[in-house]
Amino acid sequence: MQVGQTLQAMRRATPLVQCITNYVAMNIAANVLLAAGASPAMVSDAEEAGEFAGFADALTVNIGTLSPPFVAGMRAAIAGAEGAGTPWVLDPVACQATVLRRRVAADLLALKPTIIRANASEILSLAGEASRGQGVDGRDSTASAEGAARRLAQRTGGVVAMTGAVDFVTDGARAVRIAGGSVWMPLNTALGCSLTGLCGAFAAVAAPFEASVAALALFAVAGSRAHGAAEGPGSFAPLFLDALHHVRPEDLDREARIEGLEEVPA
């Protein structure tokens, strides 16, 4: 898979990505998108979210800090995106943790997101299977949730981009695993939320499966590059932003560690 071409297309387009994300992630997610080559817009109020989604190139919805106004904004934005044929990405943060989160995640899932970007515990919960996740922390491995990810993709008709020590992307038939990154990444708040935004940026210029693979591959390569010079999670963060900015399309093709799976067993 030529992920470098997808990166080149994204940077040429500089897609406008509407990000409805949590309070912790807003600044980080915006900086990640800017460093990678996209244009972020943190527009979430229901009074304008639907209108904005009508002309944005992609929409991402993250349920990290739930409140009635946020949920209203999510619904308005999704309706606007659907009306315009705009791809949208769901990040069901800690959807296994509370009754409210389970209900909101299920309601949004029923609206058929283009891409679901989540950790293994969240994917298991969305698929109606047992999860060991606690709060926002995922405690299940991606390997243990690959079957659930495949079934969820088949049920929704979307792509599942499941992240962890080794990432897994599936559309229910095709699948890939993506290795790389850094042990410092889980110790930096909201990097996963930022990756959701990046999935949206790539979805603006590529089909959902190819977009997800490219976004996760870019994150993994940038994480691996930054890791070599970092001394811990604090020094890693700015190095990671620099790496995102400096990875060239040909670098991505050369350095991405993507294992393609032609057919995923039923």
Q: Give the C-alpha separation, 249 to 15, whole Å.
A: 17
Instruction: Output the pLDDT for position 131.
Output: 66
Instruction: Output the pLDDT for position 87.
Output: 98
**Binding-site residue positions for substrate:** 42, 190
Regions in the chain scoring below 50 on pLDDT: 266
Instruction: Output the pLDDT for position 240.
Output: 98
Q: Token pair of 138, please? A: 């995922």
Amino acid identity, position 46: A
Backbone φ, ψ for residue 185 (5° rounding):
-65, -45
Q: Give the C-alpha separation, 184 to 175, whole Å.
A: 26
**Binding-site residue positions for ATP:** 117, 163
**Binding-site residue positions:** 42, 117, 163, 190
Sign of CA dihedral 74, 75, 78, 84: negative
Tell me the domains of the chain and their CATH numbers: 3-261 (3.40.1190.20)
Answer yes or no: are the C-beta atoms of 170 and 151 closer than 8 Å. Answer: no
Answer yes or no: are the C-beta atoms of 31 and 72 closer than 8 Å. Answer: no
Instruction: Output the pLDDT for position 173.
Output: 95
* Strands of 257-261's sheet in order across: 39-41, 16-20, 58-62, 88-91, 115-119, 159-163, 167-170, 175-179, 257-261
Per-residue pLDDT tens over the stretch 163-201: 999 999 999 999 999 999 999 999 999 999 999 999 999
Q: Which residues pair with 159 in a beta bridge?
A: 115
Q: Give the C-alpha separation, 76 to 47, whole Å.
A: 8
Instruction: Output the pLDDT for position 2.
Output: 85
Half-sphere exposure of 228 (CA within 13 A, CB side): 7
Answer yes or no: are the C-beta atoms of 193 and 64 closer than 8 Å. Answer: yes
Instruction: Output the pLDDT for position 129.
Output: 84
Q: Give the C-alpha separation, 113 to 62, whole Å.
A: 12
Instruction: Output the pLDDT for position 139.
Output: 72
Answer yes or no: are the C-beta atoms of 185 and 194 closer than 8 Å. Answer: no
Instruction: Output the pLDDT for position 134.
Output: 53
User: Running DSSP on this structure, what letter comes out for residue 155?
Assistant: H
